[in-house]
Amino acid sequence: MGDLPPREFFSPRHHPVCLLAEGLAGAEGVEGPPAVLVAGGRIQALGRAALEAPARRLPLPGLWLTPAPLDAHVHLRLGGAPEANLTSALSAGVAAVRDLGHQPGLATPRGNRQHPPWVVNSGPGLGAAGEGGCWLAQPLAGPGAMAQAAWERARAGAGVVKLFVSGLLDFDRVGGVLHHLALSPDEIAAATQAAQEAGLPVAAHANGPAAVEACLTAGVDSIEHGFFMGPELLERMARQGTAWIPTCAAVAAHALDPEGRHDQTVRDNLRRILAGQLEAVRRAEALGVNLVLGTDAGSYGLEHGAAVFREMALWLEAGVKPATVFRAATSRAARLLGLGQELGEIKPGARPWLLGVPGDPRANPLLLAEPRWRSF
């Protein structure tokens, strides 16, 4: 991976360094050569200003510098221990993850904000009591209980509130959803209002038109999964600016079925479900929906870290533009996680959590999977 500096190289204590690259991705309005000045643990200047500053120079011949990708939808308590899953994400070059729900009573995974991957967590989700409830959520009943739980998440230091509004996909019926509306519209609205008043965004697990429509009416910040919502709701998402995290890789993993859990009929259904979701992603791009890349890493057959590039590959195969995929995994994901000033772009003030890749990742985002150099 070339002249890989230790983490301390980018610490606040280290002397300034100027990175000299072939090109910069995720940097706007750079005047002069593709250079990045790092000092005090932050990006200080770009282009000509970086080159003119007194600093050690580190040439990166033939490499483009790019912000590291993020994963906007993971479950750190699934697929292994949280520490091991964070190590896998780090090994894959993932700068941050958004951890969206775990079983109540378990400790909430937290990262170290000084080193990647940064963790934005929800704690246990907020879900229905009884039928339609989810084991990754606290069972609740009534608008008052939902609002109270949202405030409790804020006091506990969560970075997002996760609602489980519908059930899982019904793999036996293409287009089927278990528990179309597990929470009432009043419960969704109460939780959303309380969370947003507390300064937290709301991510909603919602499949099927009834759940997605109720979430959009309540004003949630992101729709997670969003299978079978239909074109009219995609158009509404575009108008409202709601982010969509379609998690295609999770269904693809079930369709591959490495452990042989499903029979052939179910696997065929899963391939049709995946094809429909990918077509919806392509349509969403054309409509201007705020597509953000998240994977559901930790779910069946989906490894933390590597899942990011599986999700990218599926979008590209569906015909989504490479530049859209790149932004979905970097700047858009960072803004959704509340880290837009820290990550996702190469700009003054941001953290220098960068990769060096042999080409422009805006033209081929899968280059992010095999960096030749990295700063962390």
183: which residues sit within 8 A by CB, 6+ positions away?
127, 128, 132, 146, 163, 164, 165, 191, 214
Quote the pLDDT of residue 9.
55
Domains located in the chain, CATH noted: 7-67+345-374 (2.30.40.10), 70-336 (3.20.20.140)
Q: What is the pTM of this model?
A: 0.96
Quote the pLDDT of residue 2.
43
The 8-class DSSP code of residue 69 comes to P
Quote the pLDDT of residue 252.
98
DSSP letters, 263-326, are -HHHHHHHHHHHHHHHHHHHHHHHHT-EE-----BTBTT--TTHHHHHHHHHHHHTT--HHHHH
Quote the pLDDT of residue 198.
98
Quote the pLDDT of residue 4.
41
Dist. CA 230–CA 277, nearest whole Å: 10
Q: Consecutive sets of 10 residues in the chain, 376 residues long: mean pLDDT of each?
A: 49 81 95 95 96 95 98 98 98 98 95 92 96 94 98 97 96 94 97 98 98 98 98 98 98 96 97 98 98 98 98 98 98 98 98 97 98 95
- CA dihedral (325, 330, 332, 333) in degrees, to 10, reads 110
Dist. CA 31–CA 38, nearest whole Å: 17
The 8-class DSSP code of residue 245 comes to E
Quote the pLDDT of residue 314.
98
Dist. CA 326–CA 363, nearest whole Å: 8
| Contact indicator for 167, 133 with CB cutoff of 8 Å | no
